[in-house]
């Protein structure tokens, strides 16, 4: 029997905003519920309303998953994923490569330089921009298997599978346009540390599935795919190289959602009490605020203005999250006007951010969010 967990109203976040409100045709907040289905997979509860809003957001150009590009953090995402491809595939010269959800086409551009024949599909406006910038062929549309007339040696999708309402159908469609002996390369967020910690920060409306290494492998097996799945040391991702094949069904913990719910309720109260204690007589900063907007939204009708947001991502500087009137500042802003306490809400980069603060000599107590989860 399917299990359900109502989270409440969460920010409907699809891109950085120049004002603290989404466009008029998109909500600032939207209901969110998690389910663990009969196969044991943890997913967002199906909702036609959410799907309709997401369709509009994708057309506008959703940009919340680390987009690959030729500089900054985007370059690091690309380099790490390409290293995985090289290890699994070796030479890609003369191979036909399709990337679904290719963003601005930077990964295709790099693969083309290695001799691959590339083609991309991207519904967002950044696909059109990237087509000009990188000179790679990109279809500005959603992926539909009936529009694909060729088969490919390699099919790639980075931070895409979790966005699919029906991942089984999506993988089946992808498999149908794969050449004999071809390979699928994919990346999804590794949700296991967040599920184990009871952290609701991982929940966003764009993501329908919340994968662990075991559930991703189980999904692949159910779809007639096998291969190598690894936990990347960079950016908390799972990487997979899959090909057609059969393997015995993998066991999944069907109590995973129950365990997550119990921990999430405990952690929500603990962190709320911590924030309240700090802001009663001190200023509080939150580094990587995207990891805290869910908790703040379910705890407060209006997020207290004693809280400030900071992020090293240049594209987020001076932007807002929907429904939260707190502008995102950068490290320079922090150095010019420090806070008393900085809560660092990143499991992946938290330690390096704290070390950066320590080396700067700024007088500020830096606390890792994961320390509050212990």
Per domain, the residue ranges of the chain are 3-60, 72-244, 257-373
Note the pLDDT of residue 315.
Answer: 84
Note the pLDDT of residue 1.
Answer: 62
Q: Over 70: is that where the pLDDT of 326 sits?
A: yes
Instruction: Give the whole-angstrom CA distance, residue 50 versus residue 14.
Output: 12
Lowest mean pLDDT among 84-88, 183-187, 251-255: 251-255
Q: What is the pTM of this model?
A: 0.89
CATH topology agreement for domains 72-244 and 257-373: yes
Which CATH number describes the domain made up of 257-373? 3.40.50.720
Burial class (CB in 10 A: 0-12, 13-18, 19+), 298: middle
Lowest mean pLDDT among 28-42, 69-83, 90-104: 69-83
Q: Over 60: is that where the pLDDT of 65 sits?
A: no
Q: Which residue has the higher pLDDT, 211 or 3?
A: 211
Instruction: Give the whole-angstrom CA distance, residue 160 versus residue 206.
Output: 10
Note the pLDDT of residue 123.
Answer: 87
Lowest mean pLDDT among 70-84, 322-336, 352-366: 70-84
Highest mean pLDDT among 36-45, 233-242, 273-282 belongs to 273-282
Q: Which of 356, 358, 346 is nearest to 288 (CA)?
A: 346
pLDDT digits (tens, 9 = 90+) for 147-175: 899 999 999 999 999 999 999 999 999 99
Q: Which of 67, 80, 94, 97 is nearest to 184 (CA)?
A: 97
Burial class (CB in 10 A: 0-12, 13-18, 19+), 44: buried
pLDDT exceeding 70 applies to what percent of the chain?
98
Note the pLDDT of residue 112.
Answer: 95
Find the helix or strand (DSSP H, E) in which 70 lies.
Answer: none
pLDDT digits (tens, 9 = 90+) for 341-372: 999 998 878 899 999 999 999 999 999 998 88
**73 in Cβ contact with 81 (< 8 Å):** no
Alpha helix stretches (DSSP H) within the chain: 48-60, 72-89, 106-113, 125-134, 167-176, 192-197, 213-222, 256-279, 293-299, 331-336, 350-360, 369-373
What's the distance, Cα to Cα, between the start and end of the chain in Å? Answer: 32
Note the pLDDT of residue 67.
Answer: 65
Note the pLDDT of residue 251.
Answer: 78
Which CATH number describes the domain made up of 72-244? 3.40.50.150
Instruction: Give the whole-angstrom CA distance, residue 190 versus residue 81.
Output: 14
SS3 229: strand
């Amino acid at each position: 029997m399917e299990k359900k967990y109502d989270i409440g109203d969460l920010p409907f976040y699809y891109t950085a905003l120049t004002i603290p409100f989404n466009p008029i045709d998109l909500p600032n907040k939207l209901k969110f519920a998690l389910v663990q289905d009969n196969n044991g997979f943890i997913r967002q509860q199906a909702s036609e309303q959410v799907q309709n809003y997401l369709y509009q957001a994708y057309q506008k150009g959703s940009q919340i998953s680390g987009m690959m590009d030729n500089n900054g953090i985007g370059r690091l995402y690309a380099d790490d994923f390409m290293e995985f491809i090289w290890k699994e595939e070796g030479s890609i010269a003369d191979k036909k490569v399709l990337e679904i959800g290719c963003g601005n086409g930077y990964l295709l551009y790099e693969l083309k330089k290695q001799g691959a024949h590339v083609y991309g599909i991207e519904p967002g406006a950044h696909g059109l921009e990237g087509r000009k910038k990188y000179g790679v062929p990109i279809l500005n549309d959603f992926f539909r298997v009936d529009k694909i007339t060729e088969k490919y040696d390699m099919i790639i999708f980075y931070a895409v599978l979790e966005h699919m309402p029906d991942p089984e159908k999506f993988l089946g469609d992808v498999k149908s346009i794969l050449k004999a002996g071809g390979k699928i390369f994919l990346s999804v967020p590794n949700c296991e540390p967040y599920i184990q910690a009871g952290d609701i920060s991982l929940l966003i409306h764009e993501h329908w599935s919340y994968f662990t290494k075991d559930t991703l492998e189980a999904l692949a097996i159910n779809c007639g795919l096998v291969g190598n799945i690894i936990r990347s040391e960079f950016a908390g991702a799972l990487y997979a190289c899959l090909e057609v094949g059969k393997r015995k069904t993998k066991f999944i913990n069907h109590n995973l959602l129950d365990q997550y719910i119990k921990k999430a309720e405990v952690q929500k109260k603990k962190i709320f009490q911590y924030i309240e204690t700090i802001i009663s007589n001190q200023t509080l900063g939150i580094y990587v605020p995207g990891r805290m907007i869910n908790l703040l939204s379910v705890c407060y009708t209006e997020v207290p203005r004693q809280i400030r947001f900071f992020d090293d991502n240049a594209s987020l500087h001076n932007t807002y999250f929907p429904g939260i009137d707190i502008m995102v500042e950068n490290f320079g802003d922090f150095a010019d006007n420090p806070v008393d306490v900085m809560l660092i809400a990143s499991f992946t980069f938290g330690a390096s951010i704290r070390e950066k603060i320590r080396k700067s000599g700024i007088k500020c107590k830096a606390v890792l969010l994961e320390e509050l989860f212990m």
